[in-house]
């Protein structure tokens, strides 16, 4: 018998990545398909299963694969379904775990959302190794979260708990969020929110900024980061105010579950200290004194190119027959 493996599948709004991963977190083989090339779920699962079959044969056959883990927007661990995901081609409730299992040698499949998969990945292979209580915050197009308490991911009563991008941070004149409510954390501290802050400041103020040389409508958080690294005052201010709001939110998360660490991942987390330092300052200022210094702020320790597959694959070990 060879060594056991798991499969990780990350379903994104653009690409679907998949890979075969061993127990130490090495990705042995991987592949991808374009999510939007398959407007119906049957053809998507067929293409995915075909891709997986190739990798499985390369690795020594399906007998060695212990489980398949899937990270997907609106993926529900409890039901195994994707439920009403707005950025995927398939509408309504899709019984994804069942469909993949039926087309992939009857291997057990577990599904969760992408931020939860990231948390499981950090616990298995990243910054949360050895921790039982931590929160992963993904700062990308949106703000997602995976909450681990007592070594278990928090799914809540309906399988969708841990939507910390949608705590309300500004109850007066809050920015409208994609969820239809004003003032959500996501509206300010996602990569998109940072770009929006840049556009707002540039149009409401007249001071000099490197960002003024750019097409204002197409500024990204990466542009703001690069300008800040060159000392651009306005861009530094944006990171300061973004960190301020994140620190305020983290103070509330800490009174809830008092994690050992809050771990940042996603595109915006690449800003590193430029973001961590203002968050820590804000947390020192806004946190409840009894929790001062109890929770570490950390960056993801997974390579971004591998994180999605690794996180999903770690869930594969938990997939039940």
Q: Point out which residues bind a second copy (CB under 8 A).
A: 84, 133, 147, 149-150, 152, 154-158, 160-164, 166-172, 179-181, 248, 251-253, 255-260, 286, 288-291, 294-295
Rounded least distance, CB 190 to a second copy, Å:
15
Of the pair 206, 290, the CB lying nearest a second copy is at: 290
CA 83 to chain CA mean position, Å:
17
Rounded least distance, CB 43 to a second copy, Å:
27
Rounded least distance, CB 157 to a second copy, Å:
4
Of the pair 151, 321, the CB lying nearest a second copy is at: 151
CA 231 – CA 253 distance, rounded (Å): 32
Of the pair 260, 318, the CB lying nearest a second copy is at: 260
Rounded least distance, CB 207 to a second copy, Å:
25
Of the pair 216, 292, the CB lying nearest a second copy is at: 292
Rounded least distance, CB 133 to a second copy, Å:
5
Beta strand 65-71 with 27-34: parallel, antiparallel or unpaired?
unpaired
Of the pair 113, 141, the CB lying nearest a second copy is at: 113
Of the pair 19, 140, the CB lying nearest a second copy is at: 140
Which of these, 164, 64, 178, 135, lies nearest to 300 by C-alpha position? 135
In the 3-class helix/strand/coil scheme, how is the chain assigned residue by residue? Answer: CCCCEEEEEEECCCEEEEEEEECCCCEEEEEEEEHHHCCCHHHHHHHHHHHHHHHHHHHCCHHHEEEEEEECCCEECCCCEEECCCCCCCCCEECHHHHHHHHCCCCCEEEECHHHHHHHHHHHHCCCCCCCCEEEEEECCCEEEEEEECCEECCCCCCCCCCHHHCECCCCCCCECCCCCECEHHHHHCHHHHHHHHHHHHHHCCCCCHHHHCCHHHCCHHHHHHHHHCCCHHHHHHHHHHHHHHHHHHHHHHHHHCCCEEEEECHHHHHCHHHHHHHHHHHHHHCCHHHCCCCEEEECCCCHHHHHHHHHHHHHCCCCC
Of the pair 71, 259, the CB lying nearest a second copy is at: 259
Of the pair 108, 144, the CB lying nearest a second copy is at: 144
Rounded least distance, CB 152 to a second copy, Å:
6
Which of these, 7, 217, 226, lies nearest to 108 by C-alpha position? 7
Rounded least distance, CB 166 to a second copy, Å:
5
């Amino acid at each position: 018998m060879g060594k056991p493996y798991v499969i990780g599948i990350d379903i994104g709004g653009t690409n679907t990545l998949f890979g075969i991963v061993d127990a130490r977190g090495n990705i042995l083989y991987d592949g991808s398909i374009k999510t939007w090339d398959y407007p119906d779920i049957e053809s998507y699962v067929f293409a995915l299963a075909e891709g997986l079959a190739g990798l499985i044969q390369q690795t020594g056959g399906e007998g060695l694969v212990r489980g398949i883990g899937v990270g997907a927007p609106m993926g529900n661990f409890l039901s195994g379904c994707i439920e009403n995901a707005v950025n995927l081609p398939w509408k309504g409730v899709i019984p994804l775990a069942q469909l993949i299992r039926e087309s992939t040698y009857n291997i057990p499949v577990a599904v969760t959302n992408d931020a939860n998969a990231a948390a499981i990945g950090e616990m298995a292979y990243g910054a949360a190794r050895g921790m039982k209580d931590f929160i992963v915050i993904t700062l990308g197009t949106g703000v997602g979260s995976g909450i681990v308490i007592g070594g278990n991911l928090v799914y809540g009563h309906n399988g969708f708990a841990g939507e910390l991008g949608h705590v309300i941070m500004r109850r007066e004149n809050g920015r409208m969020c994609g969820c239809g409510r004003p003032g959500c954390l996501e509206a300010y501290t996602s990569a998109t929110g940072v770009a929006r802050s840049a556009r707002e400041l540039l149009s409401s103020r007249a001071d000099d900024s490197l960002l003024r040389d750019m097409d204002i409508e197409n500024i990204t958080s990466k542009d703001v980061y690069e300008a800040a690294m060159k000392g651009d005052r306005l861009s530094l201010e944006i990171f300061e105010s973004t960190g301020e709001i994140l620190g305020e939110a983290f103070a509330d998360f800490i009174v809830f579950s008092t994690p050992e660490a809050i771990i940042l991942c996603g595109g915006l987390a690449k800003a590193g200290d430029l973001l961590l330092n203002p968050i820590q300052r804000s947390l020192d200022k806004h946190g409840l004194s009894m929790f001062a210094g109890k929770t570490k702020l950390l960056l993801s320790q997974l390579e971004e190119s591998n994180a999605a597959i690794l996180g999903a694959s770690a869930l594969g070990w938990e997939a039940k027959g």
